[in-house]
Amino acid sequence: MNFHHLLVEFITWFVFCYFLALNVGYLALNGFALRALRRKGQEMFMAELPRAYSGLEPPVSILVPAYNEEASIAAAIRSMLQLSYAEFEIIVVNDGSTDNTLEVLRREFALLPFPEAYRRQIATQEVRQVYRSTRYPNVRVIDKVNGGKADSLNAGINVSRYPLFCGVDADSILQRDSLSKVTEPFLRDPTVVAAGGTVRVANGCQVSGGFLTKVGLPRNMLALFQVVEYLRAFLFGRLGWSAMNGMLIISGAFGVFRKDAVVLAGGYRTNTIGEDMELVVRMHRLLRARRQPYRIEFVPDPVCWTEAPEDLRTLRNQRIRWQRGLAESLTANWGLMFSRRGGVPGWIAFPFMLLFEWLGPLVELGGYAFMIFAFFTGLISWQAFGAFLFVAIGLGILLSASGLLLEEMSFHIYPRGKQLLALGAIVILENFGYRQVNALWRLVGMWRWATQRESSWGAMQRRGTVKDADGAPPPN
């Protein structure tokens, strides 16, 4: 009898402490982000003034992997050409599309074959031909055998001419100053090797000509939840990590890297689902081991927008994939954790990711399941059960609210008061089901990773992981 009580006691305390630690950890991250934002906010108005001193920005090669994008690729590239940036080139990588993507590109951009002296810095699938646009001299297209997004990016790196490259998804919606904002850390600090841009939810916003014209909130409930989720977890959390130089993820939708650093690290890894995160973690690991001073930064300005999934099935698949990608990125780079020269990434960020992101779904759901089971079998009193729910949901609401506060302090992109109220309501509602279901999906992702479901993996590779199985793009 006593043993049972002790066990129940232990588990309830454990779950409580875990929830507390998780939320406090994220709150601390938001706290770090707050400091970084203060400084940032003061510079923002300077950006609105015509530059007093005009310094040339470093030239950038924009890499656009494309798989079966015949409907939207031309418009996407056209809008990228409108970026207001001093010097850049666009390299579209046609990853063995089975539709008319290449034809569309050939027609719209007047492509002609170009005798590229292909430089095999990183091994890739065979490149069939390189084309150059006669209408826009800074656009080149690579036609290659299908190999997945990571492989396409590697091919793009091989062909790029400039010291920086920017990996963009074909359906990322950018702003005219996106590139200049995200390359600004490289100007300020010569040790920066990578910079990630914020990805925001485009649902409900007006988009035309490939550019965002007006910011709005989506009507779809799921999309609304994701807006708040992004504010809570993906935006300011990353800024907090960036302030400590422990940022482990740069979104594949928009990120700028130093080419030589990436080549030195070996390029993108093709046999993983989360290739964007895996590269960054690997860069941390290798640069730390080599004791090379470096920084990986995060630019909090809203520079990139993508469509978030609006139906359960697509969202579920996306979250399952993310969790698998996370697990793969971490396990591929075990050496970073608690390594002697690991610094913040090795001693704080990696364990944090492991404990709270990777293990999180298990403990969260396990905790809920246990408490429900214990309540219904009478092992715990209704007061304890109630208290547990109160704490779990209360802390969740606090965390979401802190994300909203940071947004209001910094960019306040939702101008109308009604929108703010709606977001406030979602901050509360999010914790009554969405977060829990999310944890469930992530648990499935863990399971799939653990059992290594080869079949779906193979199908993904064949299709190219630019688009999700059900057609929605991954914001992460």
Residues making contact with other proteins (CB under 8 A): 1, 5, 8-9, 12-13, 16, 20, 23, 39, 41-43, 45-46, 48-58, 82, 84, 112, 114-117, 119, 132, 134, 137, 176, 187-190, 208-209, 211, 378-381, 383-384, 387-388, 390-391, 393-395, 397-398, 401-402, 404-405, 408-409, 412, 417, 420, 424
Q: Which is nearer to other proteins, 111 or 315 (CB)?
A: 111
Q: Which strands, in side-by-side order, build the sheet including 111-113?
A: 111-113, 127-133, 139-144, 88-95, 60-66, 164-168, 254-258, 192-201, 295-306, 173-174, 211-214, 206-208
- Residue 458: strand, helix, or coil: helix
Backbone angles phi, psi at 142, to 5 degrees: -105, 130
Min dist CB 187 to other proteins, Å, is: 4
Q: Which is nearer to other proteins, 57 or 70 (CB)?
A: 57
Q: Which amino acid is at 153?
A: L
Q: What count of other Cβ atoms lies within 10 Å of the Cβ of residue 118?
A: 13
Q: Which is nearer to other proteins, 1 or 340 (CB)?
A: 1
Min dist CB 287 to other proteins, Å, is: 18
Q: Which is nearer to other proteins, 338 or 390 (CB)?
A: 390
Q: Which amino acid is at 200?
A: R
Min dist CB 107 to other proteins, Å, is: 18
Q: Between 382-410 and 2-48, two packed helices, what is the crossing angle to 10 degrees?
A: 10
The β-bridge relationship of strands 60-66 and 164-168 is parallel
Min dist CB 432 to other proteins, Å, is: 14
Nearest to 76 by CA among 206, 167, 170, 201: 170
Residues 388, 16 contacting (CB under 8 angstroms): yes
The β-bridge relationship of strands 295-306 and 192-201 is parallel
Q: Which is nearer to other proteins, 398 or 440 (CB)?
A: 398
Min dist CB 19 to other proteins, Å, is: 9
Nearest to 128 by CA among 118, 138, 137: 118
Nearest to 269 by CA among 279, 284, 259: 279
Q: Which is nearer to other proteins, 405 or 429 (CB)?
A: 405
Q: Which amino acid is at 168?
A: V
Whole-number Cα distances in Å, 93 to 127, 145, 164: 10, 10, 17
Q: What count of other Cβ atoms lies within 10 Å of the Cβ of residue 408?
A: 14
Min dist CB 176 to other proteins, Å, is: 6
The Cα–Cα gap between 64 and 67 comes to: 10
Min dist CB 201 to other proteins, Å, is: 19
Q: Which is nearer to other proteins, 378 or 471 (CB)?
A: 378
Q: Which is nearer to other proteins, 46 or 454 (CB)?
A: 46
Min dist CB 49 to other proteins, Å, is: 5
